[in-house]
Structure 1
Amino acid sequence: MHLEDVPDVKTQIMINMSSPAAAFRWWRLPVRGVGLARMEFIINSIIKIHPMALAHFDQVEDTGARKEIEALTEGYGLRRGEKGLLVYVMAEIPSNVLLAEQFAERFDGFSIASNDLTQLVLGVDRDSAELKGLFDERNEAVKRMVRSLIETAHESGTKAGLCGQAPSDYPEFAEFLVEVGIDSVSLNPDSVLNMIGHVAEMENARACGGCRS
């Protein structure tokens, strides 16, 4: 698909970034923005230290240091509610879904981490070779959790997006997301164009009552 032929879609398609250099490679892709910045990869490759070796903000006990960090962050123009800045919570454990109404009171939206959520809903280690065949985002239990979260988010006036490879790997899962009203999907760069094409077809089918182009 040529870039000039990429159709417009209602669902926001965003991109996952794992390094600053990737932005220069994929900047022409017709996406709505960066949906997932893999900070652990960026920190590891640029700062040359594993992210877990760094002091996390919530672990800093010095109140003066915390205020300095907050001031530094504000210096970058990152103020919630200003210039369209929204703060989303990662929905990657079942309690995020079960208590979605409470999370919606504190955040502007949800970003569903499909890999982690699937792992914890099914009780399957995604890195286990023996259990690999059981790990499947298309499992009905996972889909019910995703549907429930999206519905609760919308009822609460917040947004719900998803980051993960499932929509790219399984067209039927992408169709499911469109059907339940997902607001955005964040993908690896090499999946973007095909995904936009699939989403456009599905949105058109819904608009004309199930017909396909």
Structure 2
Amino acid sequence: TVSCAEGEEGRVYNGLLDFEVQRIDFSEVPKTKTHIMMNVGIPEKAFTQGQIPNEGVGLARLEFIINSHIGIHPLALLNYAELKEKAASDKEIKEVVDSIDAKTAAYDDKSRFFVDTLAQGVATIGAGFYPNDVIVRLSDFKSNEYANLIGGHQYEPVESNPMIGWRGASRYYAEVFEPAFALECEALKKVRNEMGLTNVKVMIPFCRTVEEGKKVIEVMKRHGLVQGENGLEVYVMCEIPSNVILADQFAEIFDGFSIGSNDLTQLTLGLDRDSELVSHIYDERNEAVKRLVRQVINTARKAGRKIGICGQAPSDFPDFAAFLVECGIDSMSLTPDTAVKTRLIVADKEKELGIK
């Protein structure tokens, strides 16, 4: 038995590992009023995962494409000429420049490498699920994660708590980062306008205030992504208590919400789920979290806005999926391996409640 779970080297064990094969006839999978979508990050898997019964992608993460296919900090690409000049007298910067050269040999304009590669990754996901909606979450790297990209240490601050630091929406309109965000906008504009994949929508992560949301929408407009133009919808992640408390105001500027139950749970319970000392308290089914979820679903429905969830909870807990159906959520975005199983749970719950 070959196992790659231990790291890059992997291990070979003597004997065969017991396993079972579960076969599902997709033609027998029931339709549900609640849309079952999927969380997708790896473009290469999009066409395979797109064969699973679905109503689209509720969360397409840019981080995997940037990490695995680009690997370079966008500001390092934008400031390539300056870095190359400094490389003559700085060994560390020379290593950065050499790494950039190796990855972008075909590009004179290094920033085009970022735009083209990101567009290709997003377009692959968009095409794999076309014509269903594919909601692309804009980059949500934390500062320590950005620092791990080639050239990242040149441009990233050292924060004591990156989880609630400079991430998501607050980056996009910041003077020092907006040029990097413009590359994301350019890539998405290429996917929608040049490649014709208008099923690709946009989602803003970690938007702390309504004013911040307005700023981001304005910055997007400045860089060619105009809300409402050519059917462009702009969603917001609902992952901060302020998103729930002021949901009626967020609904005035966004086309819909997607509940990020992972961060919402952390910030509601005031804990770090990565800390061994308090991780046992982390539970998306905590009553405080469920009350917030129910509240924001009710607010969104009253405002006539779409609302779904892309957090881990309905993938992990069948009872939470049933709870979401009771609340009247529009969609659940799940890990692909749980999409069919959860759809069956949703179908049973809808039947029990008389939902057609």
TM-score interval for Structure 1 and Structure 2 normalised by the shorter chain: 0.7 to 0.9
What does the per-residue CA deviation read over 1:140-185, in whole Å, with 9 as the maximum and x for residues that have no partner? 1000000110111111111111012211211111111000011111
SS at match of 2:275: coil
Q: How do 1:1-213 and structure 2 match up within 5 A? A: 1-49=24-72, 52=146, 53=152, 57-60=172-175, 73-75=188-190, 76-77=192-193, 79-82=226-229, 84-207=231-354
Cα deviations by residue, 1:21-55 (Å, 9 ceiling, x for unpaired):
12033120111111111211111001023653489
Identity across matched positions, percent:
52
Q: Please give the TM-score of this superposition, normalised by the length of structure 1.
A: 0.87
Looking at structure 2, the residues matched to 67 and 118 of structure 1 have their Cα atoms a distance apart, in angstroms, of: 31
Name the SS of the counterpart of 1:8 in structure 2: coil
In 2: Cα distance, 1:86 partner to 1:199 partner = 26
Tell which deviates more after alignment, 62-71 or 153-162: 62-71
TM-score between both structures, scaled by the size of structure 2: 0.53
| Counterpart residue identity of residue 47, structure 2 | F
> Which SS does the other structure have where 1:59 is aligned?
coil
Secondary structure at the aligned position of 1:16 is classed as: strand
Q: Which string of whole-angstrom CA distances, capped at 9 and with x for unpartnered residues, describes residues 85-137 of structure 1? A: 32111111101111111101110111110000000001121111222221111
Rounded Cα–Cα distance in structure 2 between residues aligned with 1:170 and 1:100 = 25
Q: Indicate the RMSD between aligned Cα atoms, in angstroms.
A: 2.6
Instruction: Please give the alpha-carbon distance, in whole angstroms, between the structure 1 residues aligned to 2:181 and 2:71.
Output: 24
Rounded to whole Å, the distance in 1 between the matches of 2:333 and 2:306 is: 14
Task: Name stretches of at least 5 consecutive residues in structure 2 with no aligned partner.
Answer: 1-23, 74-140, 147-151, 157-170, 194-224
Identify unmatched segments of 5+ residues in structure 1: 209-213
Change over 3 Å in CA distance of 1:67–1:36 after alignment to 2: closer
| Post-superposition CA distance 1:65-88 (Å, at most 9, x none) | 988986775453365335543211
C-alpha distance 3-119 of structure 1, shift in aligned 2 (>3 A): same
| Structure number, greater radius of gyration | 2
Sort the Cα spacing of 1:68 and 1:166 in 2 relative to 1 into closer, same or farther, 3 A.
Answer: closer
Count of residues in Structure 1 that have an aligned counterpart in Structure 2 = 208
Contact map agreement 1:60 1:66 (CA 8 A) in 2: no
Question: Cα–Cα, structure 1 residues 88 and 68, in superposed 2: closer, same or farther, change >3 Å?
Answer: closer
